[in-house]
Structure 1
Amino acid sequence: MAIRTHWTVIHVCGHEVSHDLSGRPADRRASFARWLQERDCTACWKAAREQDGAGKEEWLAAKRAEEQQAAAEWAAQFDMPPLEGPERALAWAERSRHQLVTAAYGALVTDGSWDEADWTVLEDKIRTITRAGWWIDQRDTEGTDLPELLDAATSDDIGTENPFR
């Protein structure tokens, strides 16, 4: 006698769905059908994901706006120069710069052995890097690595006051 391939499952959402389990090994079909009973049907699962996705997108947009506001206030407070690059990369780069520099300050000055004079020298180097892509590239870097990264920056990353460059 052949093991059945179609199972009628009543999902936790209350929907009754016939599932073709012929793609599964015969000895795993019954346990998979039991597992399906503990889940929403496909239609309800997709609807729940769409609702969650909209909520996540709104949450992410609000978080990005909050981070952007903090980055803009920080840049104004510490007289950071505007970044250069494609318009769509500027906001991301500003947030990345803010996060990396504040992490570096925390690691090197607040928790580390640097004093404010050491930090002022580094801060001057930070102001020279105006290429948005450089800051985006460093977004996952540890704050303690910032001095070495600034030393490794190339002339393409450093801004200039010469408009004819």
Structure 2
Amino acid sequence: MLNALSFPNLEADVIQAAAIIATTLSRPMEIQKPPADNGAARSLLTLEGDSSTVRLLMLGVSVRLDKDQLKHQHPDQPIGSRQKGGGNRFIATCSAAWHEQVTLPHMADWASRLPAIKAGHKVYHGQATPVDGIHYEGSCLMANNKKYVLFHCYPEDGSDLQWGS
């Protein structure tokens, strides 16, 4: 809020601003410093909660399919848990083992080639352009000096990987 008001963010200035705001609002103000890791630990907890059981550690990157993958899987090959309709689905041969050999390595390679990322920051993989007939939607998070990727993917319209095409 202070940044938006172009108020200096030096500690003494923040304390002074909090005192002024507290007087104006007639209530105490709590001053919180941003986490030293830019929220990386909190973001990593969220990432863990949104992950499916399909994971791979490759090229120093921890890659996971997210819970949203379920809507893109063939009914005989469920991955994830989030019930949501719509979206292209993969054919039945696109199992968890297939993802471990195809899509997770692709995302590990993508993340390993990213330039340095600050702790707590995310870089998003665009989904608009398919790669080998697959759209990827996810991001890479830097936490604990390690890259974590969480994503889901789906076959391109008309792809040989699309169920029912």
TM-score range normalised by the length of the shorter chain: 0.3 to 0.5
TM-score scaled by length of structure 2: 0.34
Q: Greater Rg, structure 1 or structure 2?
A: 1
Q: Which has the higher contact order (CA 8 A, sep 6+)?
A: 2
Structure with greater strand share of residues: 2
